[in-house]
Amino acid sequence: MSHDIKSRAISKNSNHNQTFGKVLSWKYENQVLEGNSEIGKFRLSFFENGIVRVQASRFDEFESNPYSVIAQPESCQVDFLESGGFLELKTPGLKVIVNLDNFSLSFFDQDDHLLNSDDPLSISWIGSEVTNYKKVQKGEKFIGLGEKTGNLNRVGQAYTNWNTDYFAYGVGDDPLYLSIPFYLGIHDAGSYGIFLDNTHKTVFNFGASTNRFIYFSAEDGDMEYYFVHYPTPAAIIEAYTRLTGRMQMPPKWALGFQQCRYSYYPDSEVYAVAQGFRDKKMPADVIYLDIHHMEAYKVFTFDGEKFTDPKAMISRLKEKGFRVVVIMDPGIKTEKGYLPYTEGLDKDLFIKYPDGEVYEAQVWPGWCAFPDFTKEATRTWWAEKMAFYTEAGVDGFWTDMNEPASWGQFTPNLIEFEYEGEKASHRKARNIYGMQMARSAQEGAAFQNPNSRPFVLTRSGFAGIQRYAAAWTGDNVASEEHMLAGVRLVNSLGLSGVSFAGYDVGGFAGEASKGLFARWMSIAAFAPFYRAHSMINTKDSEPWAFGEETEEISRNYMKLRYKLLPTLYSSFYSSTQTGLPLAESLAIQYAQDQNIYQSAFQNQYLFCSSFLVAPIESFREICKVYLPKGDWYYLYSDQKHAGQATIYQDCPLNYLPVFVKAGQIFTMQSEVEFTGAKHDGILRIHVYKGSEGSEFLHYEDAGDGFEYLNDGYFKRKITYSPETKSIRLTQAEGNYPTDFSSLRIYFHGFENSSVQISDNTLELKKENYAFLGKLTEFDPLPEHNHPYFEIKNLSFLEIPNRLEYFEITGLY
């Protein structure tokens, strides 16, 4: 079906606003509507029932970003209708109406509720800058945008996406290191997501200095965005990560505690730090080597005086259960005889000026050239160079300074990048440079160690970075405000597809007080990425460096983190399947609850779906906590609270306010010193009585390698049903022999009553109560008296160490 009025006439570039104008011709075929306006061309294409791609350009060909979207359009039913001056495209989940008079778009849900609509100005250009102006729905809130400071609800603020090295940034400063131009709009009629797929510098204005509209703009390139609608914010995030990808399953050791400093040297100091964790019974898995491990800050080198035998050092650390992660900066020192520089010149792998001269800027090593990671040959070369580290035994890689950063902080825009053969200036390539360096590191790690899962940590990135690396929030400050701002940054990254994220515990710049460090350690135990890091020329910042009380509090929360590894690892697996975050803003499940957006409660979040964490400053001894809909149990005492209410909670330094939602299930194991250490073989299943049930997916695999992609896993559902008064464990799936030989099920909030087991051939030991630990002043999770069942001798079944389906009934 098509319709033509007259030929398209593209207006000349102008410094006044030019709207897209009236639609002059259009054609609809196979889920795609395209046509011409007075100044440009457009295309609307459905990727699936709830995702439509919108493209508008003033040029003959649409531009593209080859890096973020990896999904291909799916076949879906689209009903097309022309009526007067409007075109209607409708799937079972989304309706789009095009106003032919000004190419303004309106988006509706399946029940014809208006979700989002363009202002009559629609899509417009001023010079090369392209903008889409949107109407604001009544009471609309805006969340997401990745690594952005400020409030959960971004109404009234404007943000810029331009990856920036920002040492000791303020808690309201923008932009920072990483850009994700994806946000969710939420109002009474529903919610939606918009991903602006343009790598140039972009701006999102949610009502700053204007009350007419909100808008998003790019300084150049096409207007290209994906409109996403499904019934819930969770489903919208799942859809966004179908577009841009999801993280791979990380190695289990990356979930443990990680210790970093700028810098640990010489090797004797690295040994001392590692031994400190073991001597003080503080579980830990990773030690980092910052820039002082290198000779004159040159990547792919070790300082021969500080680290006389790196391979032996790393081997010795592995004997203690530690992995080593090294920093990699992109700047290649322009030094004659330095092999990476010589090879980069010979192979034409560096960023250049338009006349072919290699671009140089100053970073840590001095004057440097910069690999062009938008070139496949460069990524292949980088992967080969990483053999220097992997042959020494290095397991993880930390890509830093990859905005790219340089002294002076003002990279000339005319420098050129390969951009997968398209050629692009710094204006288009900057925001994806860090992502492509992280990609190179991940591909290099996989190339060098094909049987090990890569672990890459990055400071910079763009939409889709979750496919390649974990992210941390850069050079933060040792302050109460930064501690809470870091929580919001990680939660916002989670809203934007980045599940594996964290912050520098204790603050990178400045020095934390004893209380601040203790509180930060307790909060970060409930973060996806758990790393302490501090700057050069500051006092020691290992968890034992702040005195006895801070050491004891830190130890207990570190131990709690490791006891929760079964829940944590299972949640990471679930995130690889859904794209949903581990640190989950309350806006995902409780988007319509106005209280969660209040400044007093906006830092609260759900961790691993079970724990409501209420971060609070270290100096407070009592705090206000908002509990959303449902009933909630205080983690440390099982005190029950009704939801949709504000409570006052004691919060002494050793008790971070944490609650468990009624009806939830989570799992635990015994204490271990590192993730690969042997536990006692008992999987502890904690079930909290509630009026609503839940389902927990328990997941295990070898913790590394890729057999899990070929049935090398152990997976089963554990469900709690109040309606049938039962707990069920489904038949396990996969070929991995479980790491647990016994199950112990703890009942929280249940009255004592008789129970039945569906398979009475199981050996069942029933104890009315079990006292499993000594209650101490600092213990964050004392094991109180709870009735429990312990099921042993699982190996007697036909499948070794495999418990068949069974059900516990008659709970109350």
Neighbours of 476 (CB within 10 A): 26
Q: Which of 426, 527, 369, 375 is nearest to 162 (CA)?
A: 426
For residue 293, pLDDT beyond 90:
yes
- Specify whether the CB–CB gap between 561 and 468 falls below 8 A: no
Q: Looking at residue 745, what is its pLDDT?
A: 83
Taking residues 270-297, report their average pLDDT. 98
In tens, the pLDDT along 14-62 reads 689 999 999 999 999 999 999 999 999 999 999 999 999 999 999 999 9
- What average pLDDT does the structure give for the chain? 92
Q: Which of 634, 608, 655 is nearest to 748 (CA)?
A: 634
Query: What is the C-alpha to C-alpha distance for residues 21 and 121, in angstroms, rounded to an integer?
Result: 9
Query: What is the C-alpha to C-alpha distance for residues 413 and 425, in angstroms, rounded to an integer?
Result: 6
Query: What is the C-alpha to C-alpha distance for residues 528 and 294, in angstroms, rounded to an integer?
Result: 29
Q: Indicate if 403 belongs to the active site.
A: yes
DSSP one-letter string for 347-395? TT-B-B-TTSPBPEEEETTEEEE-B-TTSHHHHHHHHHHTHHHHTTT--
What phi and psi, each to the nearest 5 degrees, are found at residue 427?
-60, -35
In tens, the pLDDT along 581-640 reads 999 999 999 999 999 999 999 999 999 999 999 999 999 999 999 999 999 999 998 999
573's CB contacts (< 8 A; 6+ apart) are 249, 697, 699, 715
Query: What is the C-alpha to C-alpha distance for residues 187 and 382, in angstroms, rounded to an integer?
Result: 47
Query: What is the C-alpha to C-alpha distance for residues 177 and 163, in angstroms, rounded to an integer?
Result: 5
Neighbours of 804 (CB within 10 A): 16
* Residue 72 pLDDT level (bands cut at 50, 70, 90): very high
Tell me the C-alpha to C-alpha distance, in Å, between residue 112 and each of 91, 96, 629.
Answer: 12, 10, 28
Query: What is the C-alpha to C-alpha distance for residues 123 and 107, in angstroms, rounded to an integer?
Result: 15
For residue 668, pLDDT beyond 70:
yes
Neighbours of 66 (CB within 10 A): 13
For residue 788, pLDDT beyond 50:
no
- What per-residue string of b and e applies to 526-555 under the rule 16 or more CB within 10 Å gives b? bbbbbbbbbbeebeebbbbbbeeebbbbbb
* Residue 337 pLDDT level (bands cut at 50, 70, 90): very high
In tens, the pLDDT along 593-604 reads 999 999 999 999
Taking residues 662-679, report their average pLDDT. 96
Neighbours of 765 (CB within 10 A): 11
* HEC letters along 136-170: CCCCCEEEECCCCCCCCCCCCCEEEECCCCCCCCC
Taking residues 559-569, report their average pLDDT. 97
709's CB contacts (< 8 A; 6+ apart) are none
- Specify whether the CB–CB gap between 663 and 688 falls below 8 A: yes
DSSP lists the bridge partners of residue 682 as 742
Residue in 475, 480, 552, 779 annotated catalytic: 475
- Specify whether the CB–CB gap between 216 and 196 falls below 8 A: yes
Q: Looking at residue 307, what is its pLDDT?
A: 98
Taking residues 500-523, report their average pLDDT. 98
For residue 761, pLDDT beyond 50:
no
- Specify whether the CB–CB gap between 778 and 556 falls below 8 A: yes
For residue 656, pLDDT beyond 60:
yes
Q: Looking at residue 799, what is its pLDDT?
A: 24
Place of tokens 């792998």: 349
Residue 603, classified by CB atoms within 10 Å of its CB into exposed (0-12), middle (13-18) or buried (19+), is buried
Taking residues 282-307, report their average pLDDT. 98
Three-class secondary structure of residue 248 per DSSP: coil
DSSP lists the bridge partners of residue 686 as 666, 746
* Residue 690 pLDDT level (bands cut at 50, 70, 90): very high
Number of C-alpha atoms within 13 angstroms, CB side, residue 797?
20
DSSP lists the bridge partners of residue 765 as 790
3-state helix, strand, coil in the chain (%, to 5): 20, 30, 50
Q: Looking at residue 382, what is its pLDDT?
A: 98
Query: What is the C-alpha to C-alpha distance for residues 513 and 469, in angstroms, rounded to an integer?
Result: 31
Tell me the C-alpha to C-alpha distance, in Å, between residue 62 and each of 23, 43, 104, 131, 469.
Answer: 17, 9, 19, 16, 29
Q: Looking at residue 742, what is its pLDDT?
A: 83
What phi and psi, each to the nearest 5 degrees, are found at residue 577?
-90, -30
Q: Looking at residue 749, what is its pLDDT?
A: 84
Q: Indicate if 220 belongs to the active site.
A: no
* Residue 795 pLDDT level (bands cut at 50, 70, 90): very low
The vertex-127 CA angle with 123 and 132, nearest 5°, equals 20
In tens, the pLDDT along 207-227 reads 999 999 999 999 999 999 999
For residue 781, pLDDT beyond 80:
no
Place of tokens 């988006």: 107
**Strand ranges inside 597-712, DSSP E:** 605-607, 611-613, 622-627, 631-634, 640-642, 645-650, 658-661, 665-668, 682-688, 694-701
* Residue 3 pLDDT level (bands cut at 50, 70, 90): low
In tens, the pLDDT along 113-161 reads 999 999 999 999 999 999 999 999 999 999 999 999 999 999 999 999 9
Neighbours of 707 (CB within 10 A): 15
Three-class secondary structure of residue 741 per DSSP: coil
Q: Considering just the CA atoms, what is the radius of gyration of the chain in Å?
A: 27
The domains found in the chain, sorted by start residue, are: 2-244 (2.60.40.1760), 561-812 (2.60.40.1180)
Residue in 267, 403, 418, 673 annotated catalytic: 403
Q: Looking at residue 80, what is its pLDDT?
A: 97
Query: What is the C-alpha to C-alpha distance for residues 368 and 39, in angstroms, rounded to an integer?
Result: 44
Residue in 174, 267, 372, 400 annotated catalytic: 400
Taking residues 721-739, report their average pLDDT. 89
In tens, the pLDDT along 420-476 reads 999 999 999 999 999 999 999 999 999 999 999 999 999 999 999 999 999 999 999
Residue positions counted in the chain: 812
Number of C-alpha atoms within 13 angstroms, CB side, residue 461?
33
Taking residues 492-510, report their average pLDDT. 98
Residue 105, classified by CB atoms within 10 Å of its CB into exposed (0-12), middle (13-18) or buried (19+), is buried
Taking residues 257-282, report their average pLDDT. 97
Q: Indicate if 279 belongs to the active site.
A: no
In tens, the pLDDT along 770-780 reads 322 222 333 44
